Each structure stands twice: as C-alpha cells, then as structure tokens.
Amino acid sequence: MLKKPEPQKHKAFRFTTEELSGAVGNFGTVLPILLGVAIVSDVNAGYIFLFLSLAYIVTGLYYKLPMPVEPMKAIGAIVIAENLSHEQIAASGIILGVLFLLLGYLKGLNFLQKNIPQSVIRGIQLGLALVLVKSSIGFIIWDLIIALICIGVIVLFFLLNKYRKLPNIGSLVVIAFGIVYGIIRNGLPEAEFIGAPFLILPSLQDFYTSGWRLALPQAPLTLTNAILAISLLFLDTFQKNIAPDKLSKSTGIMNLIATPFGGFPMCHGAGGLAAHYRFGARTGGANIIGGLILLPVALWFAGPDFILLIPSGVFGALLIFVAFELGKHAFKTSSYTVTVIIAVLAFFTNFAIAFIVGLALHFLMKRMKKTKASL
C-alpha cells in the first residue's frame, strides 16, 4: 500500500533571485521615510541604516520567514514635519519599546484590539498622509523639474505593476536617479566609515514631548497594522500562526536595543509583508539578503554628504508616494465623521490631541446611537 505523501515543509532559508526581488520589495516605502528624516533632522543616517540592516537579518534568522522591518511611519512623518531632535526620536523608541515588550509579556493585545476603534486609526492614517503631502511640497518647490520627473517615473512603474504585473520599483529607480544626478552635479563624495554607536540620553522633557507628540499617535498604528494585521496576513499567506504577543515582544526588543544608540523606531508591518511576498520572498533568506544590502550603505555611504547629494525634488516625489500609501486605506472606515475630524485636527494641531478627541467623539456617538435606539 502506497504511503500518503507528506505535506511539503516550509524551507527556512532560500537565497535565490526570487528572494532577492522580495527582499527589496518593501524598500520603496522604507527608504523615503528614513531619507526624509535624515535630511531634516540631526540624526546620523548611518546608525539608522545600521540597526535597520541588523534588525532585518536577526528577524529573518528568528522567524525564518520574510518578516518586514519598517520605520514607524507616524513618527517619521511628524519628525519630517516638525524637525525633531535625535534625543526626542530616541525617547519615543524607548517609550514604545517598553510599552510593546510589556504588552507582549502581559498578553494585553486582545484588550487593546477591542477598545481602539477602527475609525480612530484610519483618522490617524489620513492625518499622516496630509502632513506628508505638506512636507513634500516644501521639498518640491525647491526643485520642481526634478520632482515632476520623479513623480512621473513613480506613476509609470505603478501603472506597469498594475497592468503588466512588473515589479513596482519606481521609488528605487528614483533614488538611484537622484544619486547619479547628484554625483554628476556635485561629484562623488568620499566614503566615510561610521564610528561606533554612542548612547543617547534623552532628558525628562524629551520623554514628555516624545510621549505626547510621537509615541501616542504611533502606538495604535503599530498595534493594528504592525502586530494584529500582520499576524492575520501570515496566516493567510504562509498558514503560519504567529501570535500577536510574539510580534509585540520583538517590536519592543528592536526598539529598546536600537533607538538608544541612534537607530530609528521600528516595527513590522502588514503592507511590508504584502510587498515582500508579492515580489517573491518566501523565507527568512529574503531578510538576510535585504540586511546585507543595507549594511554597506550604513557603514560607508550614509554620511551627510551622501544624503545631501540627492536633490530635494527626489525627496518631495518620494514623500508624495508614501503619503498615498498611507492614505489609500483611510476611507475603509466605520465612521467618516470621526476619521475626517481626526485627520483635520492632526493636520492643524497635533496627533495626540486628534487621537484623544477622536476617541471621545467615537464613544460619544456610540452612546448617542444606543440612547436613540432605546427610545
């Protein structure tokens, strides 16, 4: 009697062209945020890319899957808009690192999932998109022709991806174009090896400011998109049940190790997993490849001279693209009223106020509906 064939086991690591393609599949949304932060603030981009590359490699080895590692987009958007310091960035990463590490160990994800309304999260997303559009205009007006060319390239690759199923690498092409253009215009700067990371010690004021302006608006996005949504997506794509608490712990650990030494706050992300998977990544090998691509950039080519080499119009075009990625899902909401009010408040005041007002408005409207229904 013939034995029933066993189901094919998932390979932990592959190093193929498909994994290479998948490895860079999410760079298009990762790099614009980090480059934008590097150009407007006093952070050292070398340390940001160093810890990002190490996080890619370690998470690939640990999860044995194409686990995305991304900058926290709410923090990135606010830093770009408000030009915050590296001490404030580090403080936000430490706050969120402690928060998600504790949530993971205390198994608090279910409670938060039930009590943070979708309309509030969508409002924060839409507000971030508006802030990024405003920031991008500041870059575009200084270099309009280059920006229009880059926007055209991004749109072209988007259409080729949609209708011809070709890889959507428009942002990577635009970054490459910006580097080549900058070298032709200004010459090739000398490569410089970054020094050893140093400990950043935020003040109590930095923790207060970052908790209010950065950590509070970022936390619900990380909880939903980078933990709960990606857990579900791994089940859909790989039939792998990765517990949200496990993802929360790895998010906390990444930030507590990286941000006190100059790294940028990081998380996982459902959009990042979709991008990696769509372009061929199936194993942890994609993460290792991606990390090894970013490592030499971190060590030799992420100094200020290289960052400033890229024309401002390139950053403007890239931030428009990131704003679209953030905002396109914002109207999948349970309440347009709450979502739009939060977005407007976030744009004209700050995200913390918008988040609190949005929560209060959601529960007020919910209570009014119950009262009306009982009459």
Kindly report the number of other CB atoms within 10 A of residue 319's CB atom: 27
Structure tokens at 174: 């635009």
- Domain assignment of residue 75, yes or no: yes
Task: Give the pLDDT band (50/70/90) at residue 8.
Answer: very low
- Domain assignment of residue 365, yes or no: no
Q: How do strand 70-71 and strand 266-267 relate by DSSP bridges?
A: antiparallel
> What is the per-residue pLDDT across 199-212, written as a single tens digit (0 to 9) for each?
999 999 999 999 99
Q: For position 4, what pLDDT does the model report? A: 41
Q: Give me the domain span that covers residue 319.
A: 17-192+220-340
Q: What is the mean pLDDT of residues 16-27?
A: 83
Q: What is the mean pLDDT of residues 264-273?
A: 89
Q: What is the mean pLDDT of residues 87-108?
A: 95
* Helix/strand/coil for 189: coil
- The residues, ordered by sequence, that sit 6+ positions from 169 with a Cβ below 8 Å of its Cβ are 24, 28, 157
In the predicted structure, residue 5 carries a pLDDT above the cut 60: no
Secondary structure (DSSP) of 3-34: PPPPPPPPPS---SHHHHHHHTTTHHHHHHHH
- Domain assignment of residue 375, yes or no: no
Closest C-alpha to 68, from 56, 76, 85, 52: 56
Local structure of residue 195 (DSSP, 8 states): -
Q: Which amino acid is at 128?
A: L
* Helix/strand/coil for 206: helix
Task: Tell me the whole-structure pTM to 2 decimals.
Answer: 0.80
Domain count, the chain: 1
- Domain assignment of residue 224, yes or no: yes
Q: For position 2, what pLDDT does the model report? A: 39
CB 268 within 8 A of CB 102: no
- Domain assignment of residue 28, yes or no: yes
- Domain assignment of residue 148, yes or no: yes
Q: List the Cα angle 167/170/176 in 5-degree steps.
A: 120
- Which of 73-77, 171-175, 229-233, 250-254 has the highest mean predicted lDDT (pLDDT)? 250-254
Q: For position 168, what pLDDT does the model report? A: 65
Task: Give the pLDDT band (50/70/90) at residue 374.
Answer: confident
Q: Distance (Å, rounded) from C-alpha 243 to C-alpha 110?
A: 11
Q: What is the mean pLDDT of residues 357-361?
A: 90
Q: Distance (Å, rounded) from C-alpha 185 to C-alpha 60?
A: 39
Q: For position 3, what pLDDT does the model report? A: 43
Secondary structure (DSSP) of 235-288: HHHH-----HHHHHHHHHHHHHHHGGGTPPPEE--HHHHHHHHHTT--STHHHH
Task: Give the pLDDT band (50/70/90) at residue 351.
Answer: confident
> What is the per-residue pLDDT across 38-93, written as a single tens digit (0 to 9) for each?
888 888 899 999 999 999 999 999 999 999 999 998 899 899 888 899 999 999 99
- Domain assignment of residue 335, yes or no: yes
> Chain-wide mean pLDDT for the chain?
86
What sign does the CA torsion over 317, 222, 336, 334 have? positive
In the predicted structure, residue 222 carries a pLDDT above the cut 60: yes
- Domain assignment of residue 309, yes or no: yes
Structure tokens at 186: 């200004």
Greatest C-alpha distance within the chain: 75
